[in-house]
Amino acid sequence: MRIRFVTFMTMVVSLCITTASFAAAPIKIGALFAITGPAAFLGEPERNTAKMVVDEINKAGGVKGHLLELVAYDTSGDATKAVQLATRLIKDDKVVAIIGPSTTGETMAVIPVVEKDHIPLISCSAGSKITDPVKHWVFKTAQNDTLAVGKIYEYLQRHKQSKVAILTVSDGFGASGREQLKAQAGKYGISIVSDDTYGPKDTDMTAQLTKIRGSQAQAIICWGTNPGPALIAKNARQLGIRIPLFMSHGVSSKKFIELAGEAAEGIRLPSGKVLVADMLSKSDAQKKSLMAFVKDYNNHYRAEGDHFGGHAWDAVMLIKTAVEQGATSAASIRDQLEKTRNFHGIGGTFNYSAQDHAGLGKDAFVLVEVKNKDWVIVK
Amino acid sequence: MLFDQILQYCLSGLSTGAIYGLIGVGFSIIFNATGIINFAQGEFVMLGGMLTLLFLETLALPLWAAIPCAIAASMVAGLLFERLAIRPLRQPTPINLVIITIGGSILIRGLAMLAWGKDTHALPPFSGNDPISILGATILPQHIWILVVTVFIVAVNRFYFYHTISGKAMRACAYNRRAAGLVGIDVRRMVLFSFVISSALGSIAGLIVAPLTMTSYDVGIMLGLKGFCAAIIGGMSSGIATVIGGLLLGILESLGAGLISSGYKDAIAFIILLLILVIRPQGLFGKAESERV
Amino acid sequence: MNRELLKFLAFSAMVLAAPLYFKGGYLMNVLVFVGIYTMLAIGLNLLLGYAGQISLGHAGFFGMGAYLSGVLTATYAWNPWLAMPLAAAVVGVVAFLIGLPILKLKGHYLAMATLGLGIIIYIVFNETIDLTGGPSGLSGIPYLELGGITFDSDVKSYYLVWSFALLVILFAVNLANSRVGRALRAVHDSEVAARVMGVNARLLKVQIFTLSAVICSLAGSLYAHTMTFIAPASFGFNFSVELLTMVVIGGLGSVYGSFLGAALLTLLPEFLRAAQDYDIIIYGALLMLMVMFMPGGLVRGIPDFFKMVIKGRRGAGNA
């Protein structure tokens, strides 16, 4: 039995060694995604999209004769692993650029590594501190939380609602949202009357909602990713809470409507335009990219492309554009990325500059509402 | 206003706590029969929800048929787990058993991830979704299901352990495995039984709570942990004490979140747990017993 | 004792020579973490393998060391070499005060109590956002510096971390063979008997708990300064369980076993990466198989295995 076990071990090890050697390929792009673990809902569509886009580019003959090669690793959402794998991408795989990681925490952990080794990083996570202050080698494609918060607050301001309750998840996504919700409230004349959190694995949020029900709040803003917000929507319905409920872009996918069921009706949230791609007017500059992405993703994976996948789409396309401009080395790709103007991607229209490595404006988001189990744009 | 808030906290806490209690009972049954803390217990909770979903949606069975099928399938999983992982162990020291069950839980979770993907899934409620109002607080029909099922299971457990031969044999194993073996009880069979029963309990807990909380391949970790706490508060009893332990934990969490701080609610629950442990290490309701040398 | 010294020297030589073999590849980076985890595993092994007391909360002490060092140096611009011992001292005091009541508990109650402790510490990291940065983490922690050398590359970090790890190994080996080590083993085998022999079992347990927390805190400080970024997710319950697994898979009560366990559990996911989505299943299965077929851990399982192979060869030769 023991011998069999050891033979098995040796097989595993030798398997790893053989697959670790790659065929030589002109331009190597690394990717770090949280394909398993709590952030898998981000990493999986990102990985799928990145693979899909790279395949399509290569099928069409590559970029200026260069084929692209994607080396993607799973970080399982763990900062330590992300650092190890970033090192692996740079030292062993010798990539010229890295896409990802999926979460802000991992990105912050990886930044010192890429800065040290001078490799451009295009992060797919939202935290504004990734590019604020600007770091020479670090860009991002996910929209800043600031923009999403602004979208909700503008709406509230227009409707003369000034007292809100916030309910955020106690992980990186929620904490970043909470920080922005609190920081920007003053600017829009909004006061936060109740500030609560819930754990990412909590199964019941009626306690927090009961507390909010007893407060003066005129609206509830919840910042989290599936399944928490769906649970909150259901709990709010159970408690008979009538005040409007806002969610974050963390749940802007059909999955949320499916999970929350009837309780989703009437919920509003800021979302990337990909969710309502077919409803956009023809004049919208992003429409072409969006429709192409949605169609492609559906063809490849028989699933709805969401804006998380979109972050990876944007990152690969940005690199592709840089290569089209003649960049092939890490340094030249970085320089070209910084020169990106009017790139109409999935997350919005990107304009990078030496002072701005986030590149998006407020028009990156639209406010949508759930009506009859589908999304409609709130005018 | 304050009264119905507190009532709401308590009612919400009760139903979450009942689930913790049920999972805790599963922990205790295995612990009593074998001395194992089964870290894979949470995975059976997950299996309950996911298997119900499988029978309900993929195989298109009605709910009343899907539930027993899911419980039966979980029991088979529990049986396989005992046969394949626990029994072959050469040196069943407590710490090796802990690692085996941790490995088992990683394995089961991985298989579930491959089988059902990483998405969360919603399960339909057993009977409607219209809130019921009780003195200003509201609950859902599913909450009543949870409480009824919990009471029912406590009663069945009581009957099994005190009025059937195999239940009594299992209790004998809990008191003293060697003595039980000497009087002719097949201890290994009892161990197998304990795994099957507790996987059934785990899956029941998982499938009655899934319509409220939804389910995914990784729900077992946190629920398992909380169930473990409930079992400890109840002094590893396989009956009402553990359920009360679970209810206490659920209510503490809910009150902590509502009245003190939602961010620290788990910490509050655990601090109280620590205090209980330090002041009454035999559990809240147990009698002090002397440790064997 | 001489044999122990020889073993230690051989191991040190291997550690010092390893970079020549890996030549700055990414495995170098992984080995830095193996060093940190080795310290942690030895810390926990002192408690679990020598004194027989379980802990499911040691990731908390690891995190406290990392956060104390991180906050003091990043936010308050302390000298890292001052912050590190202070962090260790604070963690030691905390562990001692908590250990006094907690270590009265036995078996699964102790497991529960330490688990709760770990979770409480984790929640504090998560919730004290003004101090720790909360779930989004704390960045800007400086690299360590010594005599004009900044430990910012993998090779430099490797030597830094492993110097600490070797010191911890030396210390643990000596402790195991000292009067204290013998007293600890007595407590492990039978606490009552140890008491009768005049060992203050209760104090001894608390002391070893404190010591193991201090080692974890040191490892935490090193982790913070090599990563330069820390987030609470690295110090949660899962990591406590992983540590426990390292100790058991490596071999209870064996210092070098802890190294083997730490190395295996850190490197295994790297090797399993080729298996893609199946890696988690293989990982779980391997964990179970190892406990089944090497119940004494790697440190005893590997020599046994070679003995068996040699015996098998001889058997085959005779036939």
B residues 263..282 contacting C (CB < 8 A): 263-264, 266-267, 270-271, 273-274, 277-278, 281
pLDDT at A355: 92
pLDDT at A91 over 80: yes
Q: Which chains touch A (3 or more CB pairs under 8 A)?
A: B, C
pLDDT recorded at residue A16: 45
Domain that holds residue A349: 2-144+290-362
What pLDDT shows up at residue A10?
52
Q: Write out chain B residues lying below 8 Å of C296, CB-based.
A: 91
The pLDDT value recorded for residue C43 is 96
In a domain, C158, yes or no: yes
Tell me which chain C residues have a C-beta less than 8 angstroms from the C-beta of B106: 280, 283-284, 287
pLDDT digits (tens, 9 = 90+) for B263-278: 898 888 888 878 888 8
What is the average per-residue pLDDT within A207-231? 93
Mean pLDDT of chain B: 88
Question: Does A126 have pLDDT greater than 50?
Answer: yes
CA distance C86 to C64: 11
Residues A71 and A91 in one domain: yes
Residues 6+ apart with CB under 8 A from C37: C219, C243, C246, C262, C265, C266
More confident residue, A285 or C223: C223
Of A41, A213, A259, the CB nearest to B214: A259
Which is it for strands A219-223 and A245-246: parallel, antiparallel or unpaired?
parallel
Count residue pairs from B and C with Cβ separation < 8 A. Answer: 128
Total structural domains within chain A: 2
Q: Is residue C258 part of a domain?
A: no
Judge whether A250 lies within some domain. Answer: yes
CA distance C123 to B179: 45
Contact of C248 with chain B, judged by CB distance below 8 Å, is answered with yes
**Full domain range(s) for residue C188:** 2-237
Region C145-150: what's the mean pLDDT? 90
Beta strands A349-350 and A343-344, pairing class: antiparallel
The alpha-carbon gap from A259 to the nearest alpha carbon of chain B, in Å, equals 5
Cross-chain Cβ contact C136/A87 below 8 Å: no
Q: Are residues A121 and A181 in the same domain?
A: no
Residues of B with CB under 8 A from a CB of A: 1-2, 5, 8-9, 12-13, 15-16, 19, 113, 118-122, 129, 131, 138-140, 209, 212-214, 216, 218-219, 221-223, 253-255, 257-258, 262-263, 265-266
Contact A172 C136 (CB under 8 A): yes
Summarised one tens digit per residue, pLDDT across range C273-294 is 777 778 788 888 888 888 888 8
pLDDT, mean over chain C: 89
How much is the average pLDDT of B38-51? Answer: 94
**Domain count along chain C:** 1
C80: distance to nearest CA of chain A, Å? 18
CA distances from B99 to B38, B93, C249, C286, C308 (A): 10, 10, 8, 11, 25
User: Can you list the pairs that A347-350 forms with residues at least 24 positions away whose Cβ atoms lie under 8 Å?
Assistant: A347/A141, A347/A142, A347/A143, A347/A272, A347/A307, A347/A310, A347/A311, A347/A314, A348/A143, A348/A272, A348/A273, A348/A286, A349/A285, A349/A286, A350/A141, A350/A314, A350/A318
Yes or no: say if A368 and A276 are a contact pair by the CB < 8 Å rule.
yes
Cα B224 to Cα A88, A339, B219, B273: the distances in Å are 35, 52, 9, 16
pLDDT top residue among A231 and A24: A231
Domains contained in chain B, CATH given: 2-279 (1.10.3470)
Backbone angles phi, psi at A20, to 5 degrees: -75, -20
Nearest CA distance, B152 vs chain A (angstrom) = 23
Question: Could you tell me which of B106, B100, B108 has the C-alpha nearest to residue B36?
Answer: B100
Interchain CB distance below 8 Å, B107 and C237: no
Same domain, A299 and A317: yes
Residues of chain A found within 8 Å of residue C270, distances taken between Cβ atoms: 16, 84
- Chain B: give the shortest CA distance to residue A82, in Å: 20
- Rounded (to 5) percent helix, strand, coil in chain C: 80, 5, 15
Q: Mean pLDDT across the stretch A8-18?
A: 48
Residues A136 and A163 reside in one and the same domain = no
The pTM for the full model equals 0.89
Does B232 lie at the interface with C, CB-CB under 8 angstroms? yes
Distance from CA of C196 to the nearest CA of A (A): 43
Cα dihedral C265, C268, C273, C274, rounded to 10, equals -170
Minimal Cβ distance to B12: which of A38, A207, A214 = A207
Q: Do C280 and B113 touch (CB under 8 A)?
A: yes
Give the ipTM: 0.88
A9: CATH: 3.40.50.2300
Domain membership of residue A283 (yes or no) is: no
Residues of A in contact with B138 (CB under 8 A): 238-240
On whether both A20 and A86 belong to a single domain, the answer is yes
Enumerate neighbours of B (3 or more CB pairs within 8 A).
A, C
User: In this predicted structure, which of A3-7, A56-60, C237-241 has the lowest mean pLDDT?
Assistant: A3-7
Of B131, B219, B258, the CB nearest to A207: B258
The least confident of A12-16, A72-76, A315-319 is: A12-16
Residue A371 in any domain: the answer is yes
Tokens encoding B108 = 């089961």
How far is residue A102's CA from residue A172's CA, in Å, rounded to a whole number?
A: 11
Tell if the CB–CB gap between C25 and A116 is shorter than 8 Å.
no
Mean pLDDT of C62-74: 97
What are the helix (H) ranges across chain B?
2-34, 41-53, 63-81, 94-116, 141-163, 165-175, 177-182, 187-213, 220-233, 240-255, 265-279
End-to-end CA distance of chain C: 41
Which residue, among B193, B201, B283, B236, has the nearest Cα to B18 in the 3D structure? B201
Q: Which residues contact A195 (CB under 8 A, 6 or more apart)?
A: A165, A166, A178, A182
Note whether A230 and A369 are same-domain residues. Answer: yes
Chosen for mutation from A201, A235, A301 (greatest number of chain B CBs closer than 10 Å) is A201
Do residues A105 and A190 share a domain? Answer: no
Hey, are the CB atoms on A44 and B118 less than 8 Å from each other?
Answer: yes
**pLDDT reading at C22 higher than 90:** no
Q: Give me the residue from A1, A2, A79 closest to C233, CB to CB.
A: A79
Q: Is residue A49 part of a domain?
A: yes
Q: Is C135 on the interface with B (CB under 8 A)?
A: no
| Phi then psi dihedrals of residue A234, to 5 deg | -65, -45
B283: helix, coil or strand? coil
For A261, the token pair is 């069921």
Query: Based on the domain organization, do A167 and A257 belong to the same domain?
Result: yes
Same domain, A89 and A133: yes
Q: Identify whether A214 is part of a domain.
A: yes
Residue C60 confidence (pLDDT) above 90: yes
How would residue B144 be classed by pLDDT, with cut points 50, 70 and 90? Answer: very high
Task: Give the model's pLDDT for residue A22.
Answer: 39
In a domain, C11, yes or no: yes
Per-residue pLDDT at C247: 93
Q: Which residues are C150's β-sheet partners?
A: C145
Whether residues C231 and A172 touch (CB distance < 8 A) is answered with: yes
Strand partners, A140: A123
Q: Is residue C97 part of a domain?
A: yes
Sign of CA dihedral C173, C174, C175, C176: positive
Structural domain includes residue C22: yes
CB contact under 8 A, B122 and A258: yes
Q: Which of C47, C291, C300 to mutate to test the interface with B (most CBs of B within 10 A)?
A: C291
- C-alpha span between B96 and B86 (Å, rounded): 10
Q: Quick one: average pLDDT of A254-264?
A: 90
CB contact under 8 A, A206 and B12: yes
* A78 φ/ψ angles, rounded to the nearest 5 degrees: -105, 125
Looking at the structure, tell me whether residues A258 and A222 fall in a common domain: yes
| Strand, helix or coil for residue A359 | coil
Q: Cβ of A104 and C136 within 8 Å? A: yes
A127 lies in some domain: yes
Is B124 within 8 Å of A258 (Cβ atoms)? no
Q: In this model, does residue B119 exceed pLDDT 80?
A: yes
Query: Does residue C232 belong to any structural domain of this protein?
Result: yes
C45 pLDDT higher than 50 = yes
Contacts for A90 with CB less than 8 Å, ≥ 6 apart:
A30, A98, A113, A114, A117, A119, C26
Q: How far is CA C282 from CA A279, A305, C269, C279, in A?
A: 46, 30, 10, 5
Q: Tell me whether residues A105 and C137 touch, CB distance under 8 A.
A: yes
Same domain for A368 and A254? yes
Partner chains of C (3+ C-beta pairs under 8 Å) = A, B
DSSP state of A251: G
Q: What is the pLDDT of residue A41?
A: 86
pLDDT tens for each residue of C98-136: 999 999 888 778 888 898 999 999 999 999 989 998 888
Question: For residue range A129-165, what is the model confidence (pLDDT) as tens digits?
Answer: 899 889 999 999 998 888 999 999 999 999 999 999 9
Which of these, B30, B26, B186, lies nearest to B177 by C-alpha position? B186
CB contact under 8 A, B229 and C124: no
Are B278 and C280 within 8 A, CB to CB? no
Mutate which of B37, B82, B96 to test chain C, going by most C C-beta atoms within 10 A?
A: B96
| Minimal C-alpha gap between C287 and chain A (Å) | 12
CB pairs under 8 A between A and C: 109
* Tens digit of each residue's pLDDT (9 = 90 or more) over C159-200: 999 999 999 999 999 998 888 888 888 888 888 888 887 788
Q: For the ranges B199-203, B279-283, C79-83, which has the lowest average pLDDT? A: B279-283
Diameter over CA atoms, chain A = 74
Task: Tell whether A284 is covered by a domain.
Answer: no
Distance from CA of B107 to the nearest CA of C (A): 5
Residues A224 and A301 in one domain: no
The 3-class secondary structure across A65-90, one letter per residue, is CECEEEEEEECCCCHHHHHHHHHHHH
On whether residue C58 sits in a domain, the answer given is: yes
Token representation of residue A99: 């896409």
Q: How far apart are CA B17 and CA B36, in angstroms?
A: 23
Give chain B positions within 8 Å (CB) of A171.
Answer: none
Those residues with Cβ within 8 angstroms of residue A324's Cβ, 6 or more apart along the chain or in another chain: A63, A64
Residue C106 to residue B291, Cβ atoms within 8 A: yes
Given phi > 0 = left and psi -120 to 50 = alpha, else beta, which region is A270? beta
CB-CB neighbors (< 8 A) of B93 in chain C: 295
Strands, E, within chain A: which ranges?
27-33, 68-74, 97-99, 121-123, 138-140, 163-169, 191-198, 219-223, 245-246, 268-272, 343-344, 349-350, 365-371, 374-377
Whether the bond between A101 and the residue before it is cis, its omega within 30 degrees of 0, is: yes
Look at residue A269 and give its three-state secondary structure: strand
Q: Is A241 helix (H, G, I), strand (E, B) or coil?
A: coil
Q: Do A214 and B5 touch (CB under 8 A)?
A: yes
pLDDT range class, residue A18, cuts 50, 70, 90: very low
pLDDT by residue (tens digit) across B79-117?
999 999 988 887 778 788 888 998 999 999 999 999 998
User: A238–B8: do the CB atoms touch at under 8 Å?
Assistant: no
Segment among A182-186, A325-329, B80-84, B205-209 with least mean pLDDT: A325-329
**Residues 67-126 in B contacting C (C-alpha not used; CB under 8 Å):** 85, 88-91, 93-96, 98-100, 102-111, 113-114
In a domain, C81, yes or no: yes
Is residue A5 pLDDT above 60, yes or no? no
pLDDT in tens, A19-57: 433 333 579 999 999 998 888 889 999 999 999 999 999
Give pLDDT, residue B90: 78
The residue with greater pLDDT, B283 or B203, is B203
